[in-house]
Amino acid sequence: MTAVLITGTSSGIGRAAAQRLVRRPDLTVYATARKTETITELAESGARVLPLDVTDEESMRAAVEAVEAEHGAVGVLVNNAGFGEYGTIEETRLDGVRRQFETNVFGLSRMTQLVLPGMREAGRGRIVNIGSMGGRLVFPAGGYYHASKYAVEALTDALRFETAPFGIKVSLVEPGLIRTRFSGDAAQNLADSAVPSGPYAALNSAVDHQISESFRSKLLAAPPEVVATAIERAITAARPRSRYVVTPAAKVLVHTRRLLGGRFFDAYLRVQFKTAP
């Protein structure tokens, strides 16, 4: 049995991944959250439940040690925990940005550091980092969130090369718009950071509208189960891809940005958010 440790399973992508993977007889799934009472449903489905706060060193160590005590090593780490601190670069409070990087970047990094010795000793392992299409392109009022996901891109690329000689495979899953509570949290963070009569009021209003409309769109957004499917592929494929871009809309945006360059994408954003040239 391979032990799979998933961070951030209280909702959204993490919960969907745990629900999907727990059905597999070859995996023992460890679902984690800061408050285990939020994931009792996963325990009832067959997952092992552990408390885990990826901003707390003691909590991270305890979770990894609990899995290693039973299995010798963490077989698969899914770094999913994260959130979006939205707002313009000028107006967003940096204490929120620091909390975001502690979760999205440093928590992911520390969890990776903690599982790697056991994986190296076992001569195998998988690490799946949940990034975002937002690690490949940037929307206004999301700069700090995108910066955290760009960091995950870089860390994953370096890690994939560094760990390959030890039999450890590393993949990055890059979801597009996924219908989770992320959109509501992002909109709330945007509202909290925005100055109602400030210089970015019109832009913030346009961004808030786009968040609401885009995440409700059946064409642009998808349920978290589609990301769970990609995570399962990254875990089980004999030769997993380095990247899994999830949702058709995300694939179009990522490749359009790459092929047509920054000037075209800026023009697209001016139309989308109705800003002056």
What does the alpha-carbon distance between residue 249 and residue 32 come to, in Å, rounded to a whole number? 30
Residue 83 C-alpha from the chain's centroid = 8
pLDDT at 277: 52
| 75 within 8 A of 3, measured Cβ to Cβ | yes
pLDDT at 194: 75
pLDDT at 275: 63
State the burial class of residue 218 (Cβ atoms within 10 Å of its Cβ: 0-12, 13-18, 19+): exposed
Give me the active site residues, please.
145
Q: What is the CATH classification number for the domain harbouring 179?
A: 3.40.50.720
pLDDT digits (tens, 9 = 90+) for 37-75: 999 999 999 999 999 999 999 999 999 999 999 999 999
What is the domain range of residue 47?
2-273
pLDDT at 17: 98
Helix 225-236 with 12-21: angle, nearest 10 deg: 50
pLDDT at 195: 79
pLDDT at 212: 85
Residues of the chain with pLDDT under 70: 275-277
- Which of 2, 189, 142 shows the shortest CA–CA distance to 78? 2
pLDDT at 57: 98
Q: What pTM, to 2 d.p., does this model score?
A: 0.94
Query: Considering its fold, how many domains does the chain have in total?
Result: 1
State the Cα torsion 247-244-183-36 to the nearest 10°: 130
| 230 within 8 A of 157, measured Cβ to Cβ | no
